[in-house]
């Protein structure tokens, strides 16, 4: 008859105790590391573990609030208007952090040259391609098109030349179409 060897119950208990001891030591080290990251006003006071965790939570919440205030201040100083979408599905316009950046367009005509500067948020990237397509449809030649990204804002620049053989006031027509395109995209996004 084959005898199977089963681990003794005492060795499995020892294994579980060792595993649990290692887990407790790891948690203790993590709590200690968390506590070391907190600013301490008290001098050498021993605080309980729940108090340390409460202190960490409060400190993180304070940092989040300060960060949000700093973002609002930065946006206010830069004149950035944002739309914040709240948890209830509503939205609020204003100069604050988070949300979508509404597109802006500036069009300059200098003789046969038409320069377009389009400033959008990341959610309106499609407008760059749409603007180029519109210029090409109107017979303009794209001399240079570029964009740069700064945080959540994209600055698009399109330098184009209007052909001399194009009929009528082409620059005015292109400007109207581009402004209408930007306004429609802005209103349909919400």
| Residue 177: per-residue pLDDT | 85
| Residue 84: per-residue pLDDT | 43
Q: Which residue has the tokens 């184009």?
A: 160
Per-residue burial over 72-89, b = 16 or more CB atoms within 10 Å of its CB, e = otherwise: beebeeeebebbeeeeee
Domain ranges of the chain: 50-98, 102-188
Contact 103, 118 (CB under 8 A): yes
Side-chain half-sphere exposure of 57, counting CA atoms within 13 A = 6
**The domain 102-188 is classified under which CATH number: 3.40.50.2000, 3.40.50.10310, 2.40.170.20, 3.30.70.260?**
3.30.70.260
pLDDT along the chain (190 residues), means of 10: 58 88 92 82 71 86 88 71 45 44 81 85 79 86 87 86 67 83 70
| Residue 73: per-residue pLDDT | 79
């Amino acid at each position: 008859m084959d005898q199977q060897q089963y681990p003794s119950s005492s060795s499995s208990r020892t294994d579980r105790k060792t595993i649990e001891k290692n887990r407790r030591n790891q948690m203790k080290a993590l709590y200690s590391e968390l506590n070391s990251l907190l600013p301490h006003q008290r001098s050498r006071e021993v605080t309980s573990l729940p108090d340390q965790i409460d202190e960490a939570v409060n400190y993180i919440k304070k940092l989040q609030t300060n960060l949000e205030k700093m973002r609002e201040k930065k946006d206010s100083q830069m004149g950035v208007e944002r739309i914040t979408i709240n948890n209830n599905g509503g939205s609020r316009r204003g100069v604050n952090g988070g949300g979508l950046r509404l597109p802006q367009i500036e069009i300059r005509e200098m003789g046969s040259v038409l320069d377009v500067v389009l400033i959008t948020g990341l959610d309106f990237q499609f407008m760059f391609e749409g603007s180029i397509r519109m210029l090409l449809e109107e017979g303009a030649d794209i001399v240079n098109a570029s964009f740069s990204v700064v945080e959540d804002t994209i600055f698009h620049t399109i330098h184009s030349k209007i052909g001399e053989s194009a009929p009528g006031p082409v620059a005015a027509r292109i400007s109207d179409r581009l402004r209408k395109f930007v306004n429609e995209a802005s209103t349909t996004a919400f």
